[in-house]
């Protein structure tokens, strides 16, 4: 495995730890970018977007999301519009065939065809070491087109159709 050697912004670790404790989560999802934070210093994995918990529910309160949680819908909209590579972390809320509800933590490696080749190489060589830094069990989803992160597609890993 090749490791790019890119460091992670300490601010992310704090926010991620908050997110993994659902009762104290402060964010609906986190989108991460590799680059120079604030245009300064060395390249690192840093937070690009982390909407406050409940902000997606407020944004989509008047829309019928057909069973998709507002935070997943917001993440889907944001990533599917993104032309460059990104990492994202969110919970997906699912229901099993026997109506049990549960949540799973998802780590998305978003790399659309429109991403520059250099970015594809950097994100690809960073994703596994970054996932290990999360120090918790997460499901890795590698996505290159919006259909790869649709709710039905992702939830199908745990819910039998």
Query: For 70-117, how does the pLDDT look when each residue is reduced to its tens digit (9 = 90+)?
Result: 999 999 999 999 999 999 999 888 877 778 888 888 999 999 999 999
**CA distance linking residue 103 with residue 117, whole number of Å:** 34
Domain-located, residue 1:
no
Domain-located, residue 66:
yes
Domain-located, residue 122:
yes
**CA distance linking residue 31 with residue 42, whole number of Å:** 19
**CA distance linking residue 147 with residue 117, whole number of Å:** 22
**CA distance linking residue 121 with residue 159, whole number of Å:** 33
What does pTM read for this prediction? 0.88
Token readout for 154 is 């992702």
Helix (H) or strand (E) holding 55: helix 55-59
The domain that contains 40 carries what CATH number? 3.40.20.10
Domain-located, residue 140:
yes
């Amino acid at each position: 495995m090749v490791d790019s050697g890119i460091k992670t912004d300490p601010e992310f670790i704090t926010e991620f730890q908050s997110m993994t404790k659902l009762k104290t989560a402060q964010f609906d999802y986190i989108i991460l970018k590799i680059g120079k934070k604030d245009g300064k210093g060395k390249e690192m994995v840093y937070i690009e977007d982390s909407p406050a918990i409940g902000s997606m529910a407020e944004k989509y309160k008047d829309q019928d999301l057909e069973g998709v949680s507002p935070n997943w819908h917001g993440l889907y909209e944001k990533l599917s519009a993104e032309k460059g590579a990104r990492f994202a972390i969110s919970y997906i809320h699912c229901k099993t065939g026997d109506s049990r509800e549960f949540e799973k933590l998802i780590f998305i490696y978003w790399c659309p065809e429109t991403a520059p080749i250099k970015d594809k190489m950097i994100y690809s060589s960073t994703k596994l070491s970054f996932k290990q830094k999360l120090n918790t069990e997460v499901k890795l989803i590698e996505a290159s087109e919006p259909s790869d992160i649709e709710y039905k597609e992702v939830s199908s890993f745990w819910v039998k159709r």
